[in-house]
Amino acid sequence: MLRPALSLAALAHAAAPGVYPTGVQELPTPRGAAYQLVLVTDEHGDSWTVRASLDSAAGAALEAAASLLRLLGGRLPYAVPVVAGTATGDDGTTVILYRALPGLPLVWRDLSAASPLARSVGTAIAALHDVDPRVIEEAGLPSYDADAYRARRLAALDRAASTGRVPAALLTRWERALEEVTLWKFATCVTHGTLEGFHVLADTEVRAIDTWERACVADPAEDFAALLALAHPDAFDTVLEAYSGARHDQPDPHLERRIRLSAELHRVTALLDAMAADDDRLIERRTAALARFADTCADDDRLMPSPFVRRRPPAATGQEPIDPADVQALDEGVEDETIEIPIPVPGSEDTAAKDTAAEDTAAADAAPQDAAPGDDQGSSTPS
């Protein structure tokens, strides 16, 4: 249940008694979100963010994230929330208070290839992935090695398979990738967890990263999944190239394949979340999206190792760019979180997304976009 903005402002003062809110602005909270955001202004005109949990599990994650943020201070070349205080209300609501971060939220679809900003995103992710993993353990957040991470993915896929709603071709595709041993020989690292554009604040370069409740030690591929799904392929390449050049240790050769797998498996998370919420409308939409994707990727084998370095075909001359309205993004808590990843097949037009555009428009209440600052953490199913 959402809390009145003034109540959260009062909790902000309880969290940091030196802060006296004089203005309050509530940000939109989408259905199913685990957190509520309020911006407050103090008597000096300074802006603060109040982040409040909407259930007990979210409260525990918020407290763990606050511990991590205190440990991350000074370890990254950009800002993270500096927690001024925490408080818990009589109803169990947990809040953290921190100064508003610099920069504006990014939209992955708008990221330009070969731009300084795209390269800055890559180096920013690299800096996070090079942080000592022990900070995650000290903060009490989860830590997985490659085998444990793969086991979690397999378990989620098994749960989805038991629903009878995942096409057999997709189950085979994803099981093959998850069981291909060579893909899973890598060192896990500190990750943000499904890094979305609105988590990254920037101007001409990355200035800050927000929303740390899903941070853990895991597969570095997870932080690129939304970027792959939403950004232009050339922009994604720029980010990944900058990332590879900035990491202390060279990324493993199968990172890009696991990024694609991670992005594809968000469909599984989206289906399981819809079923956990007992939302028949979303269940049917996500089931239909899985069926469409099964047709789209029938001839695609880029998840599996091959002797070729890259399999992305060159863009066909005169081919129209993909319309953002044809892309459904997994933005936590927004109406349709199923990522539709266009998969061009060598030698053919990518018509699948165009063929389903009318269906997507009819099915969705609104064209999906990169999420706004409040559209996060609506998913609770392990991905």
Residue 351 has pLDDT above 50, yes or no: no
Average pLDDT over residues 368-381: 43
- Residue of 157, 374, 354, 139 lying closest to 265 (CA atoms): 157
Say whether domain 104-363 belongs to CATH 3.90.1200.10: yes
CA distance 375 to 378: 8
Q: What is the pLDDT of residue 30?
A: 80
Amino acid at 356: T
Q: What is the pLDDT of residue 40?
A: 97
Q: pLDDT over 70 for what percent of the chain?
A: 80
Query: Phi first, then psi: what are they for 171, rounded to 5°?
Result: -60, -45
Q: What is the pLDDT of residue 130?
A: 98
The torsion region of residue 164 among left (phi > 0), alpha (psi -120 to 50) and beta comes to left
Q: Is the dihedral of CA 223, 226, 231, 234 positive or negative?
A: positive
Residue 59 has pLDDT above 80, yes or no: yes
Q: What is the pLDDT of residue 306?
A: 64
> Which of the 8 DSSP states describes residue 383?
-
Q: Do residues 82 and 65 lie in contact, with contact meaning Cβ atoms separated by under 8 Å?
A: no
Q: What is the pLDDT of residue 240?
A: 99
* Residues contacting residue 229 through CB under 8 Å, at least 6 positions apart: 108, 263, 266, 327, 329, 330, 339, 340, 341
Residue 346 has pLDDT above 90, yes or no: no
Q: What is the pLDDT of residue 20?
A: 96
Average pLDDT score over the chain: 84
Residue 345 has pLDDT above 70, yes or no: no
Do the domains at 5-99 and 104-363 have one common CATH topology? Answer: no
Cα distances from 309 to residues 153, 177, 256, 306, 312, in angstroms, run 25, 17, 10, 8, 10
Say whether domain 5-99 belongs to CATH 3.30.200.20: yes
Residue 262 has pLDDT above 70, yes or no: yes
Q: Do residues 263 and 228 lie in contact, with contact meaning Cβ atoms separated by under 8 Å?
A: yes
Residue 208 has pLDDT above 80, yes or no: yes
Which range among 26-30, 112-116, 275-279, 293-297 has the greatest average pLDDT? 112-116
Q: What is the pLDDT of residue 364?
A: 35
Tell me the pLDDT band of 368, cut-offs 50, 70 and 90: very low
CA distance 305 to 308: 8
Q: Which region among 70-79, 246-255, 344-353 has the lowest average model confidence (pLDDT)?
A: 344-353
Strands across the sheet with 206-209, in order?
Answer: 104-105, 200-202, 206-209
Structural domain boundaries of the chain? Answer: 5-99, 104-363
Amino acid at 10: A
Beta strand spans in 264-313 (E): none
Q: Do residues 201 and 76 lie in contact, with contact meaning Cβ atoms separated by under 8 Å?
A: no
CA distance 294 to 304: 16
Amino acid at 187: A
164 versus 361: which is more confidently predicted?
A: 164
CA distance 126 to 219: 13
Q: Do residues 69 and 83 lie in contact, with contact meaning Cβ atoms separated by under 8 Å?
A: yes
140 versus 344: which is more confidently predicted?
A: 140
- Residue of 290, 275, 272, 266 lying closest to 381 (CA atoms): 272
Burial of 202 (0-12, 13-18, 19+ CB in 10 A): buried
Beta strand spans in the chain (E): 21-26, 35-42, 47-53, 83-88, 94-99, 104-105, 189-191, 200-202, 206-209, 216-218
* Residues contacting residue 170 through CB under 8 Å, at least 6 positions apart: 267, 290, 293, 294, 297
pTM of the predicted protein model? 0.82
Residue 358 has pLDDT above 50, yes or no: no
| DSSP codes of every residue in 333-348 | TSS--------PPTTS
Tokens matching residue 37 = 């955001």
